Amino acid sequence: MKLQTATSLALVSVLEAAGHPERQVSASDIAAKYGVSIHNLAKVLRELGRAGIFEATRGAGGGYRFDGNAKRLTLFDVIELFEDISARSPEAGGADPATDVGRALAQVLAEIDEIAKATFRSITIDTMLKMVERERAAQPRAA
Amino acid sequence: MEASLAVRPVEVRDLDAIIALDAAVTGLPKPDYWYELFHRYGTRGRQQRFFLVGDAAGEIQGFVIGEVRDWEFGSPPCGWVFGINVRPNARLGGVGTRLLEAIVAAFRRAGVTKVRTLLARDNNLVLSFFRSHGMTAAPFIPLELDLEGASQ
């Protein structure tokens, strides 16, 4: 499954901010760390602010702070702010849904999408942070 | 809650509280089912079946049930958790974690190195709970056949 760029940026931003809830994050910090467009990222952060997941602070040193419940907020909650993955495979990958083959293919793709959605709904930001920590611990330390 | 909680094997006197907890959560009282489970999983001397309760000062806060299953579809013996529940008022207090840790310890003592479970796709609460404890998708796909709609 491939997520849209804005969705991926949102997930990265939420994980960066939720990993350090006492700190503010800025678009420039995240853009520099992940090598992404600051323009696109700024739009994503504003959307997360509108959704109440981030709290915006203005002025010098301003930025965003995570303002959600990491144990309840799921990947799906963030994803659905930016794209509708429920409507991902309505047409059997291009096959005509008016045909038997098209409908049968649509059934298989819908099954895959349901599993993907259930996976996103079952993983909270807190669980993701634990996974990030395990990945960090598994990496060899820099000399 | 967590500090005062004792996790211990179920006893017959716990069944009324377990039946009530299950009925409150599922909306469906099933006393016969729970008595049957008690006889299969709760009586002493079981080496591979575990039915544990979380007890806080004599009040049942939750339960967990599981067993070691051997060689299902070629899979080496593994621990299966097939029931876990915590009183709604006691959630987010670490009861579920203590219950899961206890049954995982029992599985370890039984010699298995994997723990599995199976949940409805829309059971987000319990799916999230297991995920938060490091469980990930297993290399299996559950399948079902609708006998009402299946061709003969």
Check residue A95 and give its pLDDT.
Answer: 75
pLDDT grade, residue B74 (50/70/90)? confident
- Residue of chain B with shortest Cα separation from A116: B121
A5-19 vs A38-50: helix crossing angle, rounded to 10: 70
Query: What is the mean pLDDT of the segment spanning A52-58?
Result: 89
**Can you list the alpha helix ranges (DSSP code H) found in chain B?**
15-26, 31-37, 95-109, 124-132
In B, which residues are within 8 Å of A126 by CB distance? Answer: 132
pLDDT for A89: 58
Cβ–Cβ below 8 Å for B132 and A121 = no
pLDDT in tens, B76-109: 999 999 999 999 988 888 999 999 999 999 999 9
What is the pLDDT of chain A when averaged over all its residues? 89
Instruction: Indicate yes or no: CB of A122 within 8 angstroms of CB of B122.
Output: no
| Percent over 90 (pLDDT), chain B | 74
Residues of A in contact with B137 (CB under 8 A): 119
Whether A127 and B137 lie within 8 Å, measured CB to CB: no
B4 three-state secondary structure: coil
E-strand ranges in A42-128 read: 54-57, 63-66
Interface test with B, best of A122, A125, A135 (most B CBs within 10 A): A122
Q: Does any CB of chain B come closer than 8 Å to the CB of residue A113?
A: no
Q: B133: nearest CA in chain A?
A: A127
ipTM for the predicted complex comes to 0.77
Among residues A59, A63, A31, A37, the alpha carbon closest in space to that of A49 is found at A63
A32 shares contact with chain B (CB less than 8 Å):
no
- Candidate from B92, B124, B134 with C-beta closest to A122: B124
Kindly state the tokens that stand for B8. Answer: 């211990």
Q: What is the percent of chain A with per-residue pLDDT over 70, rounded to a whole number? A: 91
Interface of B with A in 119-148 (CB under 8 A): 121-122, 124, 127-128, 131-132, 134, 137
Q: What confidence score (pLDDT) does residue B44 get?
A: 66
Calpha distance A110→B62 (Å, rounded):
36
pLDDT in tens, A65-115: 999 999 999 999 999 999 988 765 555 567 777 889 988 898 888 888 889
| Stronger pLDDT, B52 or B45, i.e. the higher one | B52
Does A14 or B89 have the greater pLDDT score? Answer: A14
How many percent of chain B have pLDDT more than 70?
Answer: 95
Q: Strand pairing partners for A74?
A: A124
CA A46, CA A103: separation in Å to the nearest integer?
A: 40
* B132 vs A115, A119, A127: nearest CB: A127
